[in-house]
Amino acid sequence: MEAANEKDLKGYEIQPYMFEPNPDDEIESEDSDCESTSTEDNPNEEFEGINSWRLTTLQWCKCGQCQIMTKTIESFCCHEKAVEYDEYDAKLISAQNQGLTCISLLPAFVQNMLSQDVLEVDVAQYLEDNSPHDDDDLARTHKLYRLSAYRRCSRWIFQILGKKCRRVFPSCIYTCIRKKFASPDGLYTHFKFAS
């Protein structure tokens, strides 16, 4: 990023989920399949208990791109999630048709979610829409790019989910984005259900 653009970032703090639409912008559907309103990081204790083994091994990874995560909900492979969401299945089939083992290796993912040049437009939009706050320049820059990459990835996989409807990404997606736009202190905001 050019020095002039880094100056524009000064005074801005990036907050996760800041791209949520305003309530006035959207009419919520009563029969939405995304009604989770839990504010807890672990809304399903049974799920966490059954799958806690995933935090210590990569036996669940079938694509070869995953890493051990700190949250159970993020500890799954794109091959596993393909069974639950049709959108993942379509991306996985596309990857396999191209001889790739993971959706994070698809050219569309690499070109759109890992390209600083592409994400620069989203970062500029974020800066325009949000008021400035104090934060370290390097940490803020990487946080903004991760936030923009996650948002683009959600649109790429799920199209438009709607307000308060969030879906977690597989470990391989988080791993690639965090590797490209690493946090200097190694701390990341993990998946949260909408409140």
| pTM (predicted TM-score) | 0.68
Residue 84: which pLDDT band, with cuts at 50, 70 and 90?
low
Round to whole Å and give the CA distance between 34 and 141: 31
In a domain, 188, yes or no: no
Round to whole Å and give the CA distance between 111 and 124: 18
171-180 and 137-158 are packed helices; what angle lies between their axes, rounded to 10 degrees? 150
| pLDDT at position 29 over 60 | no
> What are the residues whose beta carbons fall under 8 Å from the beta carbon of 125, sequence distance 6 or more?
none
Round to whole Å and give the CA distance between 19 and 155: 12
What are the DSSP calls for 53-66, one per residue? GGGT--TT-SSS--
CB of 34 closer than 8 Å to CB of 165: yes
What count of residues does the chain have? 195
Model confidence pLDDT, tens digit, residues 99-125: 999 999 999 999 999 998 888 888 878
In a domain, 21, yes or no: no
Residue 59: which pLDDT band, with cuts at 50, 70 and 90?
very high
CB of 147 closer than 8 Å to CB of 130: no
Model confidence pLDDT, tens digit, residues 124-175: 787 777 755 555 554 567 788 888 898 898 888 887 777 767 778 899 999 9
In a domain, 18, yes or no: no
Round to whole Å and give the CA distance between 137 and 9: 7
In a domain, 99, yes or no: yes
In a domain, 3, yes or no: no
In a domain, 119, yes or no: yes
Quote the domain boundaries for residue 124.
61-180
HSE of 49, CA atoms in CB hemisphere, 13 A: 3
Q: Which helix (H) or strand (E) holds 156?
A: helix 137-158
> How many domains, in total, are found in the chain?
1
Amino acid at 73: I
Query: 25-39, 81-95, 176-190: lowest mean pLDDT where?
Result: 25-39
CB of 170 closer than 8 Å to CB of 141: no
In a domain, 4, yes or no: no
Round to whole Å and give the CA distance between 143 and 68: 21
